[in-house]
Structure 1
Amino acid sequence: MSYGAVQVLKGINLEIEKGQVVALIGRSGSGKSTALRCVDRLEKINDGEIWACGHRLTNPNLDLRALRQDVGIVFQSYNLFPHLTVEQNITLAPRWVKKMERTAARKLAEEVLEQVGLAEKIDSYPEQLSGGQQQRVAIARSLAMKPKMMLFDEVTSALDPELTGEVLKVMEDLAANGMTMLLVTHEMAFAERVADRVVFMHQGRIREEGPSSILTNPATPELKSFVGSHH
């Protein structure tokens, strides 16, 4: 089953199968974050077609709320509400969008916090958490909507190296449990280990793509030089 052909920027063609993990890599400004943001309709699409989880993103009557229930996105800035507890941050959307009542919402928060290893932080406030913990709460918040696909946009780039590992582990667990994922990352070792496919973008186009082995055996001089600068 295909999760849609994404044609963005300068004629990108990309299909992601259900349960696949696809890593978008490339230098700053190569278009990878823009490509990712198009899949959640955070960027306007001028040309071409994008389908995600059965939603045609170029449809003028697209139900954005329905799309964003199916496609979760996590950014490098966690965007948690500082005046709300972890539970309230996580249950805001399910209670608002899905009209979930309080007890069920708390149970859901416990469940998704368990997935990211933070069950004991349910009543904490964001300021009481480290950056890595806040990012894991942001992932839990996305999971609470039970998405079919998750987008991750450089989610570890604002974190110290020792906090990066705990966030990557959560993503690795999600991948192992069959979540369809499209991620923009500069963590090459992680992409090599977890991604089913790696897509190297260069100047708004896909320059090279294939299994993660292309990182150890690049075919193009551009990817070779990119990988060289990241090891």
Structure 2
Amino acid sequence: MNEAAIPRIQSKDSPAMSGSSQPMVRFHNLRKSYGAVEVLKGIDLEVSSGQVVALIGRSGSGKSTALRCVNGLERFQAGELHVCGYDLSAKDLNLRNLRQDVGIVFQSYNLFPHLTVEQNVTLAPRKVKGVGHTEARELAKEVLAQVGLSDKVDAYPEQLSGGQQQRVAIARSLAMKPKLMLFDEVTSALDPELTGEVLRTIERLAADGMTMMLVTHEMAFARSVADQVVFMHQGRVWEAGPGDMLLDPQTVELRQFVGSGL
């Protein structure tokens, strides 16, 4: 295993940050178990504003569990996790407020089939933030334009392809104006063509400066878009670095994982 300290995640274009910079996400010796099975074995990782971080690794390596800890879907047993100024170990943690700042998109779209695209996108802002009808419609137009679906505002989910439904799910999260977006294997149920359209949407968000953490099996995408790639193995951060590290892995485990896929 690579025992070197995990570097603070930085932009491709930005100079190294000073030690006083406050990361948007900070894992420190984070440990998570399901019963007697420890799935996160002391995670250390920092993500700063505007950065894109790709978590890769085999099934069971802990990458999705780590991601789900970030917005409180999973609670951890030891260590520290700070996200967007929230201490996730605090007993008085306000999950409702945390999740307004941290959007998450899953493999399953989870759209309401009886609601239009606009209604799916604006439901949370209206119910949670009290956004008015007119403002909600303008918000829907804005975020649907971001994901390239301005012409689908009145469509129902069943009228959309899988890739389009996933992009609506992304727009739904963007409508809450989050500081951080999480993507958990959002293309794993899509065919290659639809995968491409979703990845292009995420790439546009990255270009716009959205802070993102994503779990993905798309190695070429991770290498080209992510500021940092984090390879997880057996519940630990095994190797981390810029995307080009996938072309020259420093550990046997990452070389075996990457194989000839790039």
Structure 1 length as normaliser, TM-score?
0.98
Identity %: 71
Aligned AA (2:95): L
Other-structure match for 1:44: 75
* Distance in 2 of aligned mates of 1:14 and 1:61: 24
What secondary structure is seen at the aligned counterpart in 2 of 1:48? Answer: strand
Equivalent in the alignment of 1:200: 231
Q: Are 2:258 and 1:227 aligned?
A: yes
Give the whole-Å Cα distance in 2 for the aligned partners of 1:4 and 1:84: 34
2:186 maps to a residue whose letter is: V
- The 2-side partners of 1:33 and 1:57 are apart by 17
Q: Deviations over 1:71-108 (max 9, x none)?
A: 10000101101111111111110001110111110110
Alignment-derived partner of residue 11 in structure 1: 42
CA distance in 1, matches of 2:202, 2:114: 27
Corresponding residue of 1:93:
124
Q: How does 1:88-167 map to 2 (within 5 A)?
A: 88-167=119-198
Q: State the match for 1:35 in structure 2.
A: 66
**Within 2, Cα distance between the matches of 1:219 and 1:123?**
50
Could you say what secondary structure the match of 1:43 adopts?
coil
Q: CA deviation at 1:180?
A: 0.5
In the alignment, which residue of structure 2 is the partner of 1:2? Answer: 23
- Counterpart residue identity of residue 155, structure 1: V
- Larger relative helix fraction: 1
Does the alignment pair 1:25 with 2:68?
no
RMSD of the alignment, in Å? Answer: 0.9
- Offset of residue 5 of structure 1: 1.4
Q: Verify: 1:60 aligned to 2:91, yes or no.
A: yes
Deviations 1:123-181 (A, max 9, x none): 11100000000000000000000000100000000001010011000100100111110
Count of paired positions: 231
Moved more, 126-135 or 59-68: 59-68
- Cα distance in 1 for partners of 2:103, 2:178 equals 6
Q: Show the counterpart of 1:171.
A: 202
Pairing partner for 1:74 from 101, 105, 109: 105
Q: TM-score when scaled to structure 2?
A: 0.87
* Secondary structure in 2 matching 1:215: helix
Alpha-carbon distance, 1:63 to partner: 1.0
Distance 1:136-1:95 versus aligned 2 partners, 3 A rule: same
Whole-angstrom distance in 2 between the partners of 1:151 and 1:128 = 26
Between the aligned partners of 1:53 and 1:218, the Cα distance in structure 2 is 31
Large movers: runs of 4+ above 3 Å:
none
Which amino acid in 2 is paired with 1:5?
A: R
TM-fit CA distance, 1:229: 5.4
Q: Work out whether 1:214 is the aligned partner of 2:220.
A: no
- 2:133 and 2:106 map into 1 onto residues whose CA distance is 27
SS of residue paired to 1:50? strand
Q: What 5-or-longer segments of structure 1 have no aligned partner?
A: none
